Structure 1
Amino acid sequence: MILVNTGNGKGKTTACVGQAIRALGQEHSVAFGQFMKRDNQAGEQYMLRKLLGEFFYAPGDGFLTKPEQYPAHRATSEKVIWWAKERILDVDMLILDEALYALSSDLIKKEELEELIALARNNDTHLVLSGRGAPQWLIDEADLVTEMTEIKHHYKAGIPAQKGIEF
């Protein structure tokens, strides 16, 4: 199955982590890759590395904020795509967190994501993708799409990101 967690609300990564835990609990093999996110910044990364070892990968440079950062971010995103292609044949579930952000920023190409989707379908591997702004073609292709909608966020009231909540 192809599963997509999208929307402007908080919880997309958390849903991906929960999906990984659920699959592991059923003795499925899981690989979890993160686009954009730097390793060792968030609590889930520590736990995922502990649970998944080499099947967790987060080589990101942070979020793309300036055009001059594009070449480095594209190169890092290509590493995640390569890693994903190597793992997709060996696991029951591949999770690619922030893949949709990478797609909308042109850090990964539509064709690269379509290739991963085809590999997943051809190998009976569940593929979980997250990020804001799922394009319509992906919504149409996916088997399950969940949209997280922000109703209220403490950041807008001036409360900074909290350990264990945002990271």
Structure 2
Amino acid sequence: MLLIYTGNGKGKTSACVGQTLRALGQDMHVAFGQFMKKDGQAGEQRMLSRLLGDGFRAGGKGFLRKEEDRPAHREAALAMFDWGMRQLEDVDMLVLDETLYALGCGILEETEVRALVDKARERGVHLVLSGRGLPEWLAAEADLITEMGEVKHPWQQGVTATKGIEY
């Protein structure tokens, strides 16, 4: 199955982590990668690393803020993409957090994501993707789409990111 967690609301990564725990609870072999997030940046990374060992990788450079950083982001995205493609050989489920963000800002290409989806289907691997900006072509491919909608968030009152909540 192709599962997608998208939308402007908070909770996409948390849903991916929950999906990972559910699969692990059924003795499935899971790999979890993060496209944009740097290693050691978010609380879930420490726990996923403990649970998954080499089956976890945070390979991002952070979110793309400056155009001159694009080549480094593209290189990191390609390394994560290659890692993910290799994981499809040995897992029951592959979770790739922030794939849609990487796709939307152009550091991943449509052809690459299509190849990932095709290989996962060929191998019978559940593929879980997340991020904002779900393109129509990928929505048409998905078996399950959950859209997170922001109703209220502390940032609207000027509260900065909170440890254990946003990271």
Tell me which interval the TM-score lies in, with the shorter structure as reference length. over 0.9
Separation in structure 2 between the aligned mates of residue 89 and residue 15 of structure 1, nearest angstrom: 24
TM-score by length of 2: 0.99
Who is 2:82 aligned against? 82
Structure 1 vs Structure 2 CA RMSD: 0.5
- Give, as a single letter, the amino acid of the residue that structure 2 aligns with 1:46: R
Q: How far does residue 160 in structure 1 lie from its aligned partner after superposition?
A: 1.5
Who is 1:135 aligned against? 135
Q: Secondary structure at the match of 1:89?
A: coil
Who is 1:11 aligned against? 11
* Aligned counterparts, 1:1-167, within 5 A: 1-167=1-167
Q: Structure 1: where are the runs of 5+ without partners?
A: none
Q: How far does residue 163 in structure 1 lie from its aligned partner after superposition?
A: 1.0
- Give, as a single letter, the amino acid of the residue that structure 1 aligns with 2:71: P
Q: How far does residue 161 in structure 1 lie from its aligned partner after superposition?
A: 1.1
Q: Secondary structure at the match of 1:77?
A: helix
Separation in structure 2 between the aligned mates of residue 102 and residue 42 of structure 1, nearest angstrom: 18
Q: How far does residue 24 in structure 1 lie from its aligned partner after superposition?
A: 0.2
Deviates more, 1:76-85 or 1:151-160: 151-160
Deviations 1:109-134 (CA, angstroms, capped at 9, x unpaired): 10100001011101110000000010
TM-score by length of 1: 0.99
- Give, as a single letter, the amino acid of the residue that structure 2 aligns with 1:44: E
- Give, as a single letter, the amino acid of the residue that structure 2 aligns with 1:30: V
- Give, as a single letter, the amino acid of the residue that structure 2 aligns with 1:118: D
Q: Structure 2: where are the runs of 5+ without partners?
A: none
- Give, as a single letter, the amino acid of the residue that structure 2 aligns with 1:123: R
Q: Secondary structure at the match of 2:79?
A: helix
Q: How far does residue 164 in structure 1 lie from its aligned partner after superposition?
A: 0.8
Q: Secondary structure at the match of 1:75?
A: helix
Q: How far does residue 57 in structure 1 lie from its aligned partner after superposition?
A: 0.5
